[in-house]
Chains A and B, each alone.
Chain A
């Protein structure tokens, strides 16, 4: 039976369901010490002095500082500006200064209270606008980490053709990933000098690369192993490098295994969040709704260090136009430095920020033109043959209008819009009701030349006893990597799903198939494995195997095929598809191999007494090319939508002087069962010729679409055009009050 398109049970499911699966804190690590991190209490300044309370018993305590780092003091990523431990300068609150270890976790925390750091405090730069002023310099001469510009056509000529020009400014806040397993890492040095790191992470080879400059040694003397990971959403893309460095440094100093497990408060205070952004739109449009000019300015808050900000900005601006074709476009993107903890990867990676603005701008334009928001979208939507802002011609797999028409039909959008308008007419109703629409696209895989640069590799191996093993660095973080990779390989080999095993991502065992990010696992890694498995099948055919194959026949064939070699394996490496061209300097060309598409209709109700917003129903259709495992795809869509509803309505990270004030799950509010509506999900499959079985990406796509649909529904319900997330009852209350007066 073919595996692809079947909702096979997730491979690691039984272990997770019984509590047997081991997350990093579940490993006892005999003899280990517990590491805790001393962090700066100021947002900006210099360390003058560190004082250790002499009354405290420091005997059993190990303390490491920047001075103990054998190599160079930076956490390798795009730039090398972020120290592993601050030595002199402090650039954000909660910046790590010391790591302290004790065999007893409680004692380690107690020790923290007996270290006193004296600072010279400088005025911090807390907002993007302050940073742009460049009165206080944090980075280079202008505080701008990265500026990127996309230009298509002639903007002035476009505006000259416009009957209307519509302008608006949109704002989105920080968002916390809020995986339920906090970050955690263990490290120790083996007798042969191998530095072993184990923990919760998305990208074992990122950690591996980050360790080399800190702890110089041969690459094979650094080993990174992913443990069962309790959610990532981008939050375990880059920050694990930091924790791994801290654990390793302490382990080398103490000559014992070290475990560092963050508690929720520390995880929320110190680790990365989604970049806040300000997006300004100026759109030229013809009377009939045709877009003729899009002038978009994107500003993001990078936090104190570069980390992944340039790439987040890149994805942000590449999605800033929304899924529409416009002949004249300029997008200017800047990400700036502030004295706040660095912002980083979070599902969608810049796109949810700019797509919120782009889609709400469409609502604004429709209102201005007194045009149906559906009609204006139909008019401008990307279709096959369209040219995106970077001049990319969409040759295939463009599901934009299919997903739009699906949700309109399934939600009975037009009928309900009328029905709710009637409901809202009566002043006696206890609530307002509204319905909103949004449509988005999402580029799959790394931007531009990124995949070429990565040169990912993945392997399929066969042992003489007939075991089929998938070796890849792609991590299972809940999304179903293990299961879908096994399904792809099983079908390429035409064998049952259960015959395929997937190796734990361990840098000493698997090739570097790249990071588990950017909705790339299925499409990129899956395709590599598909090719490798096809080659393996050929080898089996050459060894005389005939399909269909029973288990015994397969084992005999495997023994023959492996012959004297012990194990037969095929490694595939990513090759640049011939028809993809990208220029990273001019930002012209094929930004992504392909895009996924989604549309959503949100229905909501607002209590007139309390302004509480209840999402009553969500209808969505998402074009993923091919659903390798429909249940898992649906899980991604519903889960991502739920996170995005939190982004739209609940999640409000409050900062004061660069410190998150509500760094607890009690006060940073994520959706419960009762905040999450029933969802009607339609999977659309517009196959992509280079994806395995036609598959594109799905991981990030559902994060992009709900927030603008919610804002549109609030507008439909109340007539309030709210341009800033989250749409809290407090904001509605204030805005309604202002409207009345």
Chain B
């Protein structure tokens, strides 16, 4: 493989073509090549989780992924969820329960919480804390984040029961 490559990757449901160095980090590709700046860099060593995205449905730190490893893959970022005027349910509870303060860890935190809710995680604080242990937050002390996720799980449980 030469230094520059061309590859296809499905980002937030859209087929995209990347042209550039094979060993560019996925986070940089998202931010620089596709202007998806919702994914944040906090440490550059997979410790803080701010750059968390989904790669083929699996939670990963995008600062540790060379783009060549995303060839043909599905990538989902914070931009796949709601917009400021149409927040999705998880984002709405983060807003009303105080789950975001400075906001820099928030996109990554939401991605982890999103997977947790999607996989049918329970509303007990211990499991939620376990699921979010790879995302550092320095502002909140986590309690309001955990409460935001609890509220989301409870709300989606109520919805399922009604159906």
Answer whether A and B touch in the complex at a CB cut-off of 8 Å.
yes
Option from A9, A17, A20, A264 in Cβ contact (under 8 Å) with B110:
A17
- A15–B38 Cα gap in the complex (Å)? 10
**B42-56 interface mask toward A, CB cutoff 8 Å, 1 = contact, 0 = none?**
111101101000000
Q: A17-B87, A180-B137 are in contact. Are A634 and B45 (CB under 8 A)?
A: no
- A265–B125 Cα gap in the complex (Å)? 33
Is B101 a contact of A479 with CB atoms below 8 Å? yes
Is A179 a contact of B138 with CB atoms below 8 Å? yes
Q: A263-B44, A264-B44 are in contact. Are A19 and B136 (CB under 8 A)?
A: no
- A638–B141 Cα gap in the complex (Å)? 5
Asked if B95 is at the interface (CB within 8 A of a chain A CB), the reply is yes
Using Cβ atoms and an 8 Å threshold, which residues of chain A touch B87? 14, 17-18
Asked if B143 is at the interface (CB within 8 A of a chain A CB), the reply is yes
Is B143 a contact of A679 with CB atoms below 8 Å? yes
Is A665 a contact of B129 with CB atoms below 8 Å? no
Is B84 a contact of A14 with CB atoms below 8 Å? yes
Is A19 a contact of B78 with CB atoms below 8 Å? yes
- A180–B84 Cα gap in the complex (Å)? 22
- A182–B40 Cα gap in the complex (Å)? 11
Interface 9-mer from A22-30, A397-405, A527-535, A724-732: A22-30
Option from B98, B104, B130 in Cβ contact (under 8 Å) with A180:
B104
- A233–B139 Cα gap in the complex (Å)? 9
Task: Give the residue name and chain of the B residue nearest to A641 (CB).
Answer: B141
Is A18 a contact of B136 with CB atoms below 8 Å? no
Q: A9-B95, A180-B102, A230-B102 are in contact. Are A639 and B140 (CB under 8 A)?
A: yes
Q: Which A2-47 residues sit within 8 Å CB-CB of chain B?
A: 7, 9-10, 12-23, 25-26, 28
Size of the chain B interface, CB-CB below 8 angstroms: 58
Using Cβ atoms and an 8 Å threshold, which residues of chain A touch B135? 673
Option from A13, A22, A478 in Cβ contact (under 8 Å) with B95:
A13
Q: Which A640-658 residues sit within 8 Å CB-CB of chain B?
A: 640-643
Is B42 a contact of A14 with CB atoms below 8 Å? no
**B82-123 interface mask toward A, CB cutoff 8 Å, 1 = contact, 0 = none?**
111101000100111110111111110010000000000000
Is A16 a contact of B106 with CB atoms below 8 Å? yes
Q: Give the interface size class of chain A.
A: 35 or more
Option from B41, B79, B142 in Cβ contact (under 8 Å) with A642:
B142
Asked if B39 is at the interface (CB within 8 A of a chain A CB), the reply is yes
Using Cβ atoms and an 8 Å threshold, which residues of chain B touch A394? none
- A693–B45 Cα gap in the complex (Å)? 46
Asked if B133 is at the interface (CB within 8 A of a chain A CB), the reply is yes
Asked if B29 is at the interface (CB within 8 A of a chain A CB), the reply is no
Using Cβ atoms and an 8 Å threshold, which residues of chain B touch A676? 129, 141-143
Option from A635, A664, A673 in Cβ contact (under 8 Å) with B43:
A664
Asked if B77 is at the interface (CB within 8 A of a chain A CB), the reply is yes
Is A19 a contact of B143 with CB atoms below 8 Å? no
Option from B91, B104, B128, B144 in Cβ contact (under 8 Å) with A17:
B91
Q: Which B22-43 residues sit within 8 Å CB-CB of chain A?
A: 31, 35-43
Using Cβ atoms and an 8 Å threshold, which residues of chain A touch B128? 673
Asked if A670 is at the interface (CB within 8 A of a chain B CB), the reply is yes
Is B146 a contact of A180 with CB atoms below 8 Å? no
Asked if A158 is at the interface (CB within 8 A of a chain B CB), the reply is no
Asked if B132 is at the interface (CB within 8 A of a chain A CB), the reply is yes
Asked if A678 is at the interface (CB within 8 A of a chain B CB), the reply is yes
Is A639 a contact of B139 with CB atoms below 8 Å? yes
Using Cβ atoms and an 8 Å threshold, which residues of chain A touch B37? 19, 22, 25-26
Using Cβ atoms and an 8 Å threshold, which residues of chain A touch B125? 678
- A303–B86 Cα gap in the complex (Å)? 49
Kindly provide the distance from the CB of A476 to the nearest chain B CB, expressed in whole angstroms: 8
- A231–B105 Cα gap in the complex (Å)? 10
Asked if B68 is at the interface (CB within 8 A of a chain A CB), the reply is no
Kindly provide the distance from the CB of B144 to the nearest chain A CB, expressed in whole angstroms: 6
Q: A18-B79, A478-B103 are in contact. Are A638 and B95 (CB under 8 A)?
A: no
Using Cβ atoms and an 8 Å threshold, which residues of chain B touch A692? none
Is B83 a contact of A20 with CB atoms below 8 Å? yes
Using Cβ atoms and an 8 Å threshold, which residues of chain A touch B47? 664-666
Q: Which A664-694 residues sit within 8 Å CB-CB of chain B?
A: 664-666, 670-674, 676, 678-679
Kindly provide the distance from the CB of A173 to the nearest chain B CB, expressed in whole angstroms: 18
Asked if B81 is at the interface (CB within 8 A of a chain A CB), the reply is yes
Task: Give the residue name and chain of the B residue nearest to A635 (CB).
Answer: B98
Kindly provide the distance from the CB of A709 to the nearest chain B CB, expressed in whole angstroms: 15
Asked if A178 is at the interface (CB within 8 A of a chain B CB), the reply is yes
Option from B40, B45, B98, B143 in Cβ contact (under 8 Å) with A264:
B45
Using Cβ atoms and an 8 Å threshold, which residues of chain A touch B48? 180, 665
Using Cβ atoms and an 8 Å threshold, which residues of chain A touch B140? 635, 638-639, 642
Q: A17-B95, A181-B40 are in contact. Are A674 and B100 (CB under 8 A)?
A: no
Is A478 a contact of B102 with CB atoms below 8 Å? yes
Is A18 a contact of B143 with CB atoms below 8 Å? no
- A642–B79 Cα gap in the complex (Å)? 29
Task: Give the residue name and chain of the B residue nearest to A22 (CB).
Answer: B37
Using Cβ atoms and an 8 Å threshold, which residues of chain B touch A674? 129-130, 133
- A431–B48 Cα gap in the complex (Å)? 31
Task: Give the residue name and chain of the A residue nearest to B28 (CB).
Answer: A105
Option from B41, B84, B146 in Cβ contact (under 8 Å) with A18:
B84
Kindly provide the distance from the CB of A522 to the nearest chain B CB, expressed in whole angstroms: 15
- A13–B87 Cα gap in the complex (Å)? 10
- A181–B143 Cα gap in the complex (Å)? 20
Asked if A631 is at the interface (CB within 8 A of a chain B CB), the reply is yes
Q: Which of A16, A25, A672 gathers most chain B CB within 10 Å?
A: A16
Is A19 a contact of B77 with CB atoms below 8 Å? yes
Asked if A138 is at the interface (CB within 8 A of a chain B CB), the reply is no
Kindly provide the distance from the CB of A270 to the nearest chain B CB, expressed in whole angstroms: 16
Q: Which of B82, B101, B103, B140 gathers most chain A CB within 10 Å?
A: B103
Is B82 a contact of A231 with CB atoms below 8 Å? no
Asked if A306 is at the interface (CB within 8 A of a chain B CB), the reply is no
Q: Which A221-274 residues sit within 8 Å CB-CB of chain B?
A: 228-233, 263-265
Is B38 a contact of A19 with CB atoms below 8 Å? yes
Option from B35, B36, B79, B132 in Cβ contact (under 8 Å) with A673:
B132
**What are 8 A-B pairs with beta-carbon distances under 8 A?**
A17-B106, A18-B38, A18-B83, A18-B87, A179-B102, A230-B40, A635-B98, A666-B45
20 new A-B contacts, CB < 8 A, other than A14-B85, A263-B44, A665-B48, are A9-B95, A12-B103, A17-B82, A17-B91, A19-B36, A22-B37, A23-B104, A25-B37, A179-B102, A180-B42, A231-B104, A231-B139, A632-B98, A635-B98, A635-B101, A638-B142, A639-B138, A670-B136, A673-B128, A676-B142
Residues of B within 8 A of A (CB): 31, 35-45, 47-48, 50, 77-79, 81-85, 87, 91, 94-98, 100-107, 110, 125, 128-130, 132-146
Sorted from nearest, which 7 A-B pairs have the closest CB atoms?
A19-B38, A478-B102, A230-B104, A16-B103, A642-B141, A478-B101, A14-B84
